[in-house]
Amino acid sequence: MILQQPSTHLEGNQAIAEFADLPPKPPRSKLEPHRELIRELRRKGRTYREVARLFHERLGLYVAPSTLHSFVKVRAKHRKRTQFELPPLELAVAESPALERIAALKTKPPVRNAKPTRFVFRENEPLTLTSNGGEQ
Amino acid sequence: MTAYSKRVVFTMGGKGGVGKTGVMVSLAEWFASNKIPVTLLDLDTENKARGSLKHFFNGTVTKVNIHTPAGLDAFVDHLDGGTPIILADMGAGAGQVAADWFESMHEDVAAIGVRFTAVGVVTPDPASVESVLAWASRLQDRVEYVIVENATSALADFTYWRSTEQANRFREAFTPEILQMEFRIAELENPVRQHGIQLGQVADRKTDVGELKRASLVMRAQSYRRRLFSEFDRARQAFLP
């Protein structure tokens, strides 16, 4: 006997509509307001340990170097994924006239050089009299 | 749609001695009688003097050597700013040159409004029929066809043209205009060829050749001309742009 389970999951579009009104969740990390500062310091070659010390000394914010490391890595992954999710290159540049012409040329049907042969005469074949053999 | 304004009429060379040049001479006379200017091209490199188109029209004929890489480009050059009609007499051995030229040039030349008519001359000799069919096999429907049945004797038998399977297939494929050129008596035909005299010159008594001034020959020439011109009139669509 097969029991049919009641559907507890919302289907794709229905779910999107359902959750559309939910407010955005606030950032979970206390480092979020300092994201650009951390990136700048890392770009200048500061180690996570140095960044942690600077935060403590200048901002009064205590943070472990490993936390900083995790924060940076997670966002680096996110940036990369966002980059990968960009539209494919050909779509992004499809408006270029040259590329449009190239695409049109590729889809151009081949030109038929030879017309269909309507009459063939083999010169080494003798002429063949028709069955009546005389005047038409 | 292309607006046709030019016409090249050329003989399908191949079999010699069937009367190709004679047909072209008469055709040139027919155009002249209608006051339509034409350019005459002699592409017959075999007949150096007697028997060629130049022999009959001398100064008004341009001799062209088609056995060059440019082949029949002379058609294009003479149509450029020249008369709207070219009459070109091809000689024996011109088949491959013509086929190659049509293969590479016809589409573009046709696109500028030039039409082509291939004139084939058949006699009772089966070789004349084979020659025409071989040309048609190469040219296909790039041209319109006019076939002249040249009666080389009083009782000419055109069985090989009229009653062979290959010729039937050709007629079915291209529906050529078929014209009759009647047998001409030797007393007229031989001196006309010998001296390069046009039939009209005999008919209009404009020749200095004594033997062609006989009243009977003048009358014969007038009759032949009238009937042949009537044939050309019938097929005029194939000769005009």
Q: Is the pLDDT of residue B89 over 80?
A: yes
Kind and range of the H or E element at A43? helix A35-43
B164 close to A (CB below 8 A): yes
Q: What pairing do the DSSP bridges indicate for beta strands B39-43 and B61-63?
A: parallel
**Contacts with B173 from chain A: Cβ below 8 Å:** 118-119
**Contacts with B140 from chain A: Cβ below 8 Å:** 115, 117-119
Residue among B85, B19, B44 nearest B53 (CA):
B44
In angstroms, the Cα distances linking B217 to B9, B152, B220 are 30, 18, 5
Distance from CA of A111 to the nearest CA of B (A): 13
**Contacts with B133 from chain A: Cβ below 8 Å:** 119, 121
A121 close to B (CB below 8 A): yes
Q: How confident is the model at residue A15 (pLDDT cuts 50, 70, 90)?
A: low
* Contact flag B130-A120 (C-beta cutoff 8 Å): no
Contacts of B211 (CB under 8 A, 6+ apart): B187, B191, B217
Looking at this protein, which amino acid is placed at residue A19? Answer: F
Q: How confident is the model at residue A43 (pLDDT cuts 50, 70, 90)?
A: confident
The lowest-confidence range among A36-40, B120-124, B172-176, B228-232 is: A36-40
- The answer to whether B188 and B197 have CB atoms below 8 angstroms apart is no
Window 87-146 of B, Cβ < 8 Å to A? 126, 129-130, 133-134, 136-137, 140-141
Torsions phi, psi for B151 (to 5 deg)? -75, 105
State residue A36's pLDDT score.
86
- The answer to whether B63 and B37 have CB atoms below 8 angstroms apart is no
Q: What is the C-alpha separation between B201 and B31, in angstroms, rounded?
A: 15
* Contact flag A118-B140 (C-beta cutoff 8 Å): yes
Q: What is the C-alpha separation between B60 and B210, in angstroms, rounded?
A: 25
Report the b/e string of B16-37 with b at 16+ CB within 10 A: bebbbbbbbbbbbbbbeeeeee
Distance from CA of B141 to the nearest CA of A (A): 8
Mean pLDDT of chain B: 91
Q: What DSSP state is assigned to residue A34?
A: G
* Contact flag B163-A117 (C-beta cutoff 8 Å): no
Q: What is the per-residue pLDDT across B127-149, written as a single tens digit (0 to 9) for each?
A: 999 999 999 999 999 999 999 99
Q: Looking at per-residue confidence, does B167 or A1 come out higher? A: B167
- The answer to whether B87 and B38 have CB atoms below 8 angstroms apart is yes
Minimum-distance CB partner of A129 among B137, B140, B163: B163
